[in-house]
């Protein structure tokens, strides 16, 4: 993703290939000194993440979380949308805190620790003492600050979703006590913020500084850098970290975690969630069951059956009408090298 405020993205490949791409990107002086996190993959991982389901070579299944066979570049007004104009994280943002110094900062009882990710990400994992703003969208963050941190407001303590205790998941139960030992400050002076890779914190800390907060810190490289560098024995991280690819979640050392994705609502679920009577693979989970109509559930069942049968939603042609070229066999006989020619020319053109 490219915006006036910077660049953010993920790539995968061999070490040599990745370094070639990174060198090309950083040859632009505006994109030098990029912060990187790495999740190494071995031969076994490559078999799992090769972009195709085991059943069909036609479509990517849930066992293809980390590999891409295409390049997608998006031009955006904001890398992450907050909807607040005038912010310039390059000019003003919270002070970076190295992962090795992070534990000391957030263990200080006078530090308010804020998780600026969405509510379902917090549910999967979080730092001890972290506040959960329960954001549905990053655009909700300014309103949460106004209500809970500004003008002497008391910090909001998450008490988990309002759901009957018999259907509440283990993650939700954990959330009930996840904000222990919070500081009792009328107006917090020192705020430490974190997010997945650091992008949202750049804007969130910039916003707080513009609102008049004095001491604002952010975890350099985000949770991913922390999990990459800090061993589990020294960690203050609880749970796993949700990531925006089909790995779903990672743990310490950035090893793939235990979560799967509900393909109906795209929310992470664990083994306990999948034991719930509200779980139906490919259809509903405890987090979306009550929000889906019977018609929605029926459509989801049909899609899931297509995936089970074909390995791709929509069948072998993914729901698209197959394009037939007239006299294609004559063309191929006359120009047998033509497909390779255009492939090479396309590559050279890039």
Select from 50, 37, 44 the least CA-distant residue to 10: 37
Which 8-state DSSP code applies to residue 346?
A: H
Give me the residues paired with residue 239 across strands: 125
Residues across the chain:
350
Q: Cα dihedral angle (208, 210, 213, 216), rounded to 10 degrees?
A: 50
Alpha carbon distance 120, 28 (integer Å): 36
Residue with tokens 């922390």: 226
Q: How far apart are CA 11 and CA 17, in angstroms?
A: 10
Kindly report the CA angle at 301 between 299 and 305, in degrees rounded to 5? 120
Q: Who contacts 78 (Cβ-Cβ below 8 Å, separation ≥6)?
A: 3, 5, 203
Please count the other Cβ atoms lying within 10 Å of the Cβ belonging to residue 79: 21
Segments of 67-195 assigned E as strands? 95-97, 111-115, 125-127, 130-131, 190-194
Is residue 195 flagged as an active site residue? yes
Max Cα distance, the chain (Å)? 80
By C-alpha distance, which of 98, 132, 111, 112 is closest to 239? Answer: 132
State which H helix or E strand residue 239 sits in.
strand 237-239
Q: Which of 179, 195, 241, 262 is catalytic?
A: 195
Residues assigned a catalytic role? 195
């Amino acid at each position: 993703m490219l915006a006036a405020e910077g660049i953010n993205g993920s790539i995968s490949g061999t070490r040599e290939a990745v370094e070639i791409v990174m060198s090309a990107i950083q040859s632009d002086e505006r994109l030098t000194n990029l912060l990187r996190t790495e999740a190494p993959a071995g031969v076994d991982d490559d078999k799992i993440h090769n972009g195709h389901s085991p059943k069909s070579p036609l479509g990517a299944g849930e066992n293809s979380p980390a590999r891409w066979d295409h390049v997608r570049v998006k031009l955006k007004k904001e890398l992450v949308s907050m909807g607040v104009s005038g912010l310039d994280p390059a000019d003003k943002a919270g002070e970076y805190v190295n992962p090795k110094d992070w534990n000391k900062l957030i263990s200080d009882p006078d530090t308010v620790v804020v998780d600026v990710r969405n509510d379902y990400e917090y549910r999967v994992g979080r730092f001890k003492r972290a506040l959960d703003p329960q954001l549905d969208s990053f655009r909700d963050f300014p309103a949460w600050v106004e209500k809970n941190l500004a003008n002497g407001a008391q910090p909001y303590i998450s008490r988990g979703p309002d759901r009957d205790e018999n259907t509440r998941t283990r993650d939700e139960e954990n959330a009930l006590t996840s904000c222990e030992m919070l500081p009792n400050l009328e107006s917090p002076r020192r705020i430490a913020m974190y997010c997945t890779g650091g992008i949202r914190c750049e804007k969130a800390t910039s916003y707080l500084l513009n609102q008049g907060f004095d001491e604002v810190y952010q975890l350099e490289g985000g949770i991913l850098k922390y999990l990459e560098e800090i061993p589990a024995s020294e960690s203050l991280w609880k749970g796993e970290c949700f990531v925006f690819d089909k790995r779903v979640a990672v743990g310490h050392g950035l090893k793939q975690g235990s979560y799967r994705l509900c393909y109906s609502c795209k929310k992470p679920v664990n083994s306990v969630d999948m034991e719930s009577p509200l779980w139906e693979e490919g259809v509903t989970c405890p987090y979306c069951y009550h929000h889906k109509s019977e018609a929605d559930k029926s459509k989801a069942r049909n899609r899931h059956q297509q995936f089970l049968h074909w390995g791709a939603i929509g069948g072998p042609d993914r729901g698209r009408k197959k394009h037939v070229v007239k006299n294609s066999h004559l063309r191929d006989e006359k120009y047998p090298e033509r497909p390779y020619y255009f492939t090479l020319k396309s590559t050279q053109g890039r």
